[in-house]
Structure 1
Amino acid sequence: MMYRIFAGLTPIALAIAGTSAALADDGAPLPLSADQSCGRVVPEWKVPALSDPLAASAEEIGCAVAAWQLAAKEDMSYLGEKVPESSYGRGWVKAAFYIGLDRFAARMGERHLLARVRQYSYENGLELGDRPWHGDDQAVAAVYGAIAVRDKKPEMLSKSIEVFDHIIAQNYTNSLEFTEPTVAGKEGDCQKRWCWADAIFMAPPAWALASQVSGDPRYVDYAASETRAVIEYLQDPKSGLMFRDSRYFEARTPNGKPVFWSRGNGWVFAGLARFIEALPKDHPERPLMVATFRTLADRLVTLQRTDGYWPTSLMDPELLTNPETSGTAFFGFGLAWGLNNGLLKGPQYEAARNKAWDAMRKATTDSGKVGWVQQIGKDPQSTDAGTSQLYAAGGLLLFASEMLQPGT
């Protein structure tokens, strides 16, 4: 193992193993155990967890990133801005991390981390965000839904389904044009529907899980119909990439290039992978989702930089030249998932996945912090080695879950 061991229980150990932090299904404390998955990989959750991130396995990277981010969630001083938005329990920022954590922990069979996912869900009261009709505030339902399916507890999703029923009954048919808001505090008047690219990650997988849990196809049908609308409205027919929203149809970078945001397309690519996974095999909209996923994959492998990262501005690589890891994590996950599930085949995808994995390991510190992350935004912005965010950790955990060796 590539790990240093130091005496004394660290904040990471307390974050993972504390009685209030790790609970079994019945609420009993889970004691720290040397034979539990991440306890073997990061012995007693000591830091620094990784002696050589570039040589670390997916199991090692995932455990270290999960441990660092869980410890850091109580102290967000590492964030330079938008701390309230990042610390909000039912919001999309934390939800994106827990979506990745849940998938990685489930693949590992890591009981302590799965207990942390359950704890997070119950701390939220199993509620959606404050804007229940808004796609971003529906992302957290995917965490509840994953637990409901795995633990056979459909009640975990009952509050979300109640809101979804209301949304279906409202039958919003407004345009997807992202007009300036008429109400203070809102970003755009179109957002009672999914009128921005990020929403494909945030909402459709949760709706598909609602159908799995309830047996009612209305939820996955609604999600598929609205996802089709987003694709048809925001996908650029020339490049195959997705505009973030309609405000970018005619926008240009200072270099005169069209604006295609890396993380925005990463949300779409990773979101489609998760949605396709949850769709019934015979769903009539599945072919469109698969075709869109493959179109993006074909384009993305041509845009990857030689160092494994994707440009922050996909069609203007000279605009911002520092690494950016949130987009790269989601692209890497999508490529790995596509290869593992037979939707992508060929050395070009394997090479892109492997370069992305090396890039993400390089951007991870020996303590498990993911660096070079663009902060909350809607278009390409700068990064540096110290910038981090929960959604990048979540993206890397998604990626690591697909890079685990078979049988892990």
Structure 2
Amino acid sequence: MKKYLILTVLPFLLVACSQQQDNDAVIWSQRMVESHGLGDFYCNRHYQSKLDSTGWDYVSGLVAGAVLETWEQYPEKTEYYESVKAFADLNLNEDGSMILNSKGGSALRPSNIDDLPAGRIYFTLYKEELQKGNTKDAARYRKAVDLIRNTLKYNHSRIAEGLPGAGGFFHKAIYPNQMWLDGLYMGSPIYAQWESTFGKDNSVEYSASWDDIALQFKTIHQKTYDPEKQLNYHAWSATPADSNSFWTNKQEPFVGCSQEFWARGMGWYFAALVDVLEFMPRDHSSYADMLKITNQVAAGLKRWQDDESGLWYQLLQYDANMTADGQGDHIAGEIYNIGDEANYLESSASCIFTYAYLKGTRLGILDKESYRPVAEKAYQGILKEFLRENPDGDRIDIVKSCASAGLGPAKDPSRTGTINYYLAGKDVTVVENEGKAIGTFILASLEYEQLK
């Protein structure tokens, strides 16, 4: 009987090993850059034919940043660098004093944290152009990243003194006194990298800035982390009675929190923790707190990883048996989010979790023995579940991405934060070749390729 089982199972094991070897022979980061990173992708369902002609946005910035990191890892791919530089120049005025929108005005809207993270590309561009002796462009890029950091640190709206979470950055001006997990990725890493790159000359302000960065994470973690589920709720409001916070829980112990654990929101949060800790001084008084939070997040996501695929669902605490209820959400006499769509394995979150696990173990932030197997299993699952050969035969597509998700404000009562919303909401559609999946896949691939 044992001999029969071995003879039966062995061919399947050999095929699986052969498939992984074939996958590992492909430089997937480059394949995705050349399929969709340089163009032919979507930013929140808006089609972009070429990266170098795409406007300023956190999604286009994510794609550009991933393409730029691919060039850093494979510097012979000079066309990658040139495409990102063209994107950067298109969206910056002559002296670097203004990030531009499509109408020639400022792309940095008042207290909109989503407008900031694309600026992370300017650190690498600044360094590279300075080395080339192109001091004019280097100065422009330095001025641009200074502008973004200062806009966040000095001008961005914060939760006021006297309210819970005082000092926390608003997610956006239209969401007063609200912090979302997404916002930690949008603001904190560029703030942290600026301090590490340019902030050390002023020791007092440098220390205060790191206090400020740590405050954002400690605040949102305290408010949104559910120790029983080991997950963070998508968002939290310091003023849950405000009409823009209609989606909040009104009962203890999670007053002000949204109702569900949204995968990509936690992905942005996990990546933000790892990206910030890459730059944070280890002797800072909050470093240990940040490390503890990161490891709590890592442990929780490991718990909710799908055993079979190695991936994660759109709503983390459920599997595919969870569906929207078909009845919709009843708000002020109206019904929204009607449907019976099932929970699904989601690509962008699975990619960014994989990136954060791999980078965290590489940097020594996370334990390799505990978490590298999680990431490696996830990466193989991504290749199997989410990548498709394009009909043209030359390119790959990435599928099963959530287009977008949010909460409120009052003028949009459909964004309820319920199970119905995350599975059947009008803006929460399942799409392919979305930049949020393309960029995170490239980043995960770059980390995986460093293991070889």
Q: What range is the shorter-chain TM-score in?
A: 0.7 to 0.9
Matches within 5 A, 1:195-210: 195-210=179-194
Kindly state the Cα deviation for residue 58 of structure 1 after the two structures are TM-superposed.
7.6
In the TM superposition, what are the counterparts of 1:195-234 in structure 2 within 5 Å? 195-216=179-200, 217=206, 219-234=209-224
Maintained 8 Å contact 1:369/1:388: yes
Q: Is the 8 A contact 1:301 1:348 kept in 2?
A: no
5 Å-filtered alignment, 1:261-276, equals: 261-276=262-277
CA displacement at 1:264 relative to structure 2: 0.5
Q: TM-score, normalised by structure 2?
A: 0.66
Are 1:307 and 2:306 counterparts? no
> CA shift at 1:300, angstroms?
0.9
Give the 3-state SS of the residue equivalent to 1:381 in structure 2: helix
Q: Which amino acid aligns with 1:198?
A: D
Quote the Cα distance in structure 1 between the aligned partners of 2:185 and 2:315.
19
Residue in structure 2 matched with residue 14 of structure 1 by the alignment: none
Bigger Rg, structure 1 or 2? 2
Specify the alignment match of 1:250 in structure 2: 249
Residues 384, 215 of structure 1: alpha-carbon distance in 2 compared, 3 angstrom cutoff: closer
Structure 2 residue identity aligned to 1:260: F
More deviation, 62-71/234-243: 234-243
User: What secondary structure sits across from 1:140 in the alignment?
Assistant: helix
Say which SS state the counterpart of residue 260 (structure 1) adopts: coil
Give CA-to-partner distance per residue, 1:37-93, whole Å, 9 cap, x none. Answer: xxxxxxxxxxxxxxx8993238621111111113544x75xx894559x99621111
CA contact (8 A) 1:132 1:163 kept: no
SS of residue paired to 2:397: coil
Does residue 162 (structure 1) correspond to residue 143 (structure 2)? The answer is no
Using the alignment, how far apart are the partners of 1:80 and 1:133 within structure 2?
A: 20
Matched, 1:338 2:360: yes
The residue that corresponds to 1:134 in the other structure is: 112
Name 2:177's counterpart in structure 1: 190
Superposition map of 1:6-405 within 5 A: 55-57=22-24, 60-73=27-40, 76=42, 81-83=45-47, 89-109=55-75, 110-125=77-92, 127-128=98-99, 129-131=107-109, 133-149=111-127, 151-152=129-130, 153=138, 155-170=140-155, 172-174=157-159, 187-190=174-177, 195-216=179-200, 217=206, 219-246=209-236, 250=249, 259-305=260-306, 306-317=308-319, 318-319=321-322, 320-362=342-384, 363-366=386-389, 367-378=395-406, 380-381=422-423, 387-405=432-450
| TM superposition shift of 1:98 | 1.9
Segment of structure 1 superposing worse, 96-105 or 160-169: 160-169
Q: Do the aligned residues in 2 keep the contact of 1:53 with 1:61 (CA within 8 Å)?
A: no
Once the two structures are TM-superposed, the CA of residue 115 in structure 1 deviates from its matched residue by 2.3
CA RMSD in angstroms comes to 3.4
How many residues align? The count is: 339
Structure 1 counterpart of 2:143, one-letter code: S
CA distance in 2 between counterparts of 1:374 and 1:229 reads 27
Distance 1:121 1:53 in 2: 37
- Cα deviations across residues 171-227 of structure 1 (Å, max 9, x unaligned)? 74425889xxxxxx9641236xxx110011111111112223323526544333333
Could you report, residue by residue, the CA deviation over 1:300-334 in whole angstroms, capped at 9, with x for unpaired residues?
11111121210111112232343210110011011
Cα distance 1:53–1:312, how it changes in 2: closer, same or farther (>3 A)?
same
Q: Which residue is 1:32 aligned to?
A: none
Give the Å deviation of 1:230. 2.6
Structure 1 residue 360: Cα displacement: 1.4
Tell me, in whole angstroms, the C-alpha distance in 2 between the residues paired with 1:385 and 1:174.
34
Q: Distance between the aligned counterparts of 1:148 and 1:238, measured in 2? A: 45
In the alignment, the residues of structure 2 paired with residue 243 and residue 157 of structure 1 have an alpha-carbon distance, to the nearest angstrom, of 36
C-alpha contact 2:44 2:59 (8 A) present in aligned 1 = no
Aligned sequence identity (%): 17
Counterpart contact for 1:132–1:138, Cα < 8 Å? no
Q: Which has the higher strand share?
A: 2
Structure 1 gap ranges (5+): 1-51, 179-184
The corresponding residue for 2:409 is none
Contact 1:204–1:220, Cα closer than 8 Å, also in 2: no
Please identify, of 132-141 and 264-273, the stretch whose mean Cα deviation from structure 2 is larger: 132-141
TM-score, structure 1 length as denominator? Answer: 0.72
CA–CA separation in structure 2 for the residues paired with 1:353 and 1:291: 19
Give the Cα separation in 1 of the matches to 2:20 and 2:78.
Answer: 24
Give distance in 2, aligned partners of 1:353 and 1:329: 9
Counterpart secondary structure, 2:398: coil
Q: Cα distance, 1:349 vs. partner? A: 1.6
Please give the secondary structure, in 1, of the residue aligned with 2:436: helix
Say which SS state the counterpart of residue 376 (structure 1) adopts. coil
How far off its partner does 1:140 sit? 1.1
Gaps of 5+ in 2: 1-18, 100-106, 131-137, 166-171, 201-205, 237-244, 252-257, 323-341, 390-394, 407-416
Residue type of the alignment partner of 1:140? A
| 8 Å Cα contact 1:335-1:353 kept in structure 2 | yes
> Within 2, Cα distance between the matches of 1:348 and 1:209?
28
